[in-house]
Structure 1
């Protein structure tokens, strides 16, 4: 399903080998929380997705884990930005802004964190909506 959705939006999208259930479970254990079911389903089809201009529309599982653990615990980031604890980042725009699910409270909506001003705002109603919007429009500012 996820590969077809992505290909319809942007035929040149690149996929990786799927992440198996054991890797996903280990990632959730490292994160200390479950990932949204939509994201798990996508990762079970492709471990990341590269869209237009080489943008990491969806990061590989390992990058999702590392980026979130870093965002949640880095003291230097805590001095510069509002807390990231409520967000689960999973992709970026290639220019520094990152896309995330809200994990506390859990919801399907996708938000963008804009690194220049630390704003967080809604950009898509769910992962499918995010893929269609980001892959169709392309560019690093499709959500503006």
Structure 2
């Protein structure tokens, strides 16, 4: 049964296994930002009422970031992704990321049609409030 976050029903998955964040950091070769790590220890992903993974499960975060950081996958198609850690999407192809180099709590959206990166929130909590309380492309 969905829980309510900011007045909006959302599905909160079971917390990530205790060792999973350390294993994710090992696979990624970098630290998961503290506020995202804390969120994942509470819930291993959040799904909005429309089935969109507002926050991906940790395993998907690792898989997608390794793909984004792979030079071969996006060579010549987009700006580098090294400074971002992607953690969710809007269900329409745009992805949300935290800045990890230099680490800060800001959340950006990568619009897949233009490869633009636009600031959308001052941290994961604000992102969740806006994503679960907004409609459509709420960041525009």
Q: TM-score, normalised on structure 1?
A: 0.91
Q: Is the 8 A contact 2:15 2:40 kept in 1?
A: yes
* Higher RCO (C-alpha 8 Å, min separation 6): 1
User: Structure 1 or 2: larger strand share?
Assistant: 2
Q: Is the 8 A contact 1:49 1:57 kept in 2?
A: yes
**Given the alignment, which residue of 37, 42, 48 partners 1:40?**
37
The alignment's C-alpha RMSD in Å is 1.6
Q: Which runs of 5+ in 2 are unaligned?
A: none
TM-superposed CA distance for 1:74, in Å, is 4.6
Counterpart-to-counterpart distance in 2, 1:21 and 1:100: 23
Note if 1:82 corresponds to 2:79: yes
Note if 1:92 corresponds to 2:89: yes
Q: Give the stretch that moved more between structures: 69-78 or 36-45.
A: 69-78
User: Structure 1 or 2: larger helix share?
Assistant: 1
TM-superposed CA distance for 1:76, in Å, is 3.4
Counterpart-to-counterpart distance in 2, 1:35 and 1:58: 14
TM-superposed CA distance for 1:9, in Å, is 4.2
- Report the CA distance shift for 1:134/1:9 in structure 2 as closer, same or farther (over 3 A): farther
Counterpart-to-counterpart distance in 2, 1:71 and 1:92: 14
Note if 1:51 corresponds to 2:18: no
Show structure 1 runs of 4+ deviating over 3 A: none
Q: Is the 8 A contact 2:67 2:73 kept in 1?
A: no
